[in-house]
Amino acid sequence: MEQYKKDFIDFMKDSDVLKFGEFTLKSGRKSPFFMNAGGYVTGAQLKGLGEAYAKAIHDAYGLDFDVLFGPAYKGIPIAVATAMAFDELYGKPVRYCSDRKEDKDHGADKGGFLGTKLQDGDRVVMIEDVTTSGKSMEETVPKVRGAADTQIVGLMVSLDRHERGKGDKTALKEIEELYGFPAHAIVSMPEVVEYLSEKGELSPEQLAQIDAYYRQYGPKE
């Protein structure tokens, strides 16, 4: 496992963003783990988050893109932090863009987007915190493709929960097949479990709960 992945797992734990216990998801599933990207609230945390995304995007897609698109609302600070990290780590100027929940009908920046204006030929990397159902992509992919003649290079999420989406495959696999672009994560939950188990930071009870969860909701691939 790459060092930046290990560092990010420790970072999620230290930021109290990745938790273990019993949580009810929007889908109604009872999960033994939960990741809340809204828990990154300090400047240092946002800086670390942006650096982790930048390293993972660079690893997956290189530098051949122009715009980072973060869906409102949680995607906005992630896109901004990642754009800053690309400038600092790789010396690459990257524009950021986000959609608005409601169109703005006044001022110089009226419309449905925040940040840069999407242009013909723009190569876009989509950013999300965590994808379970792919619902956010249903809303934002048509917006990005409809705003200009853009190319979506791929999607990057911070954590791949690695559970079934709407069918038998993971949500990320479903997104790849539905929209025709690759989808990656900084880390996957199996990588998290492997790393924390090696460090002795997960109890036998927690491991048993996670195993039971995946027997019920894991992908059938």
**Domain range summary for the chain, segments of one domain joined by +:** 3-217
In one letter, which amino acid is 4? Y
Q: Per-residue pLDDT for 80 more than 80?
A: yes
Q: Per-residue pLDDT for 209 more than 90?
A: yes
131 is in an annotated binding site: yes
Q: Is 87 helix (H, G, I), strand (E, B) or coil?
A: helix
Q: Per-residue pLDDT for 167 more than 60?
A: yes
More confident residue, 63 or 38: 63
Question: What is the per-residue pLDDT for 133?
Answer: 59
Across residues 63-89, what is the average pLDDT?
A: 95
Catalytic residue among 5, 30, 55, 106: 106
136 is in an annotated binding site: yes
17-21 contact pairs (CB < 8 A, 24+)? 18/159, 18/192, 20/202, 20/206
Task: Share the mean pLDDT of the chain.
Answer: 91
CA dihedral 77, 184, 113, 62 (to 10 degrees): 90
The two structure tokens encoding residue 83: 């754009």
Q: Are 49 and 81 in contact (CB under 8 A)?
A: yes
Fold of 3-217: Rossmann fold (3.40.50)
Across residues 5-32, what is the average pLDDT?
A: 93
Task: Please say if 104 is a catalytic residue.
Answer: yes
158 is in an annotated binding site: no
Q: What is the pLDDT of residues 102-158, one digit of tens each?
A: 655 544 455 688 899 999 999 999 999 887 556 778 889 999 999 999 999 999 999
Whole-number Å distance between alpha carbons of 89 and 20:
32
> 220 pLDDT band (50/70/90 cuts)?
confident
More confident residue, 31 or 1: 31
Rounded (to 5) percent helix, strand, coil in the chain: 45, 25, 30
Question: What is the per-residue pLDDT for 102?
Answer: 65
Of the chain, the percentage scoring pLDDT greater than 90 comes to 77
Across residues 63-67, what is the average pLDDT?
A: 97
Across residues 181-189, what is the average pLDDT?
A: 96
> 94 pLDDT band (50/70/90 cuts)?
very high
DSSP secondary structure code for residue 117 in this structure: P
Task: Please say if 162 is a catalytic residue.
Answer: no
How many residues appear in the chain? 221
Catalytic residue among 6, 55, 104, 173: 104
**pTM of model > 0.75:** yes
130 is in an annotated binding site: yes
Q: What residue ranges in the chain does DSSP mark as E strands?
A: 18-24, 30-35, 67-69, 95-104, 111-115, 123-130, 151-160, 183-188
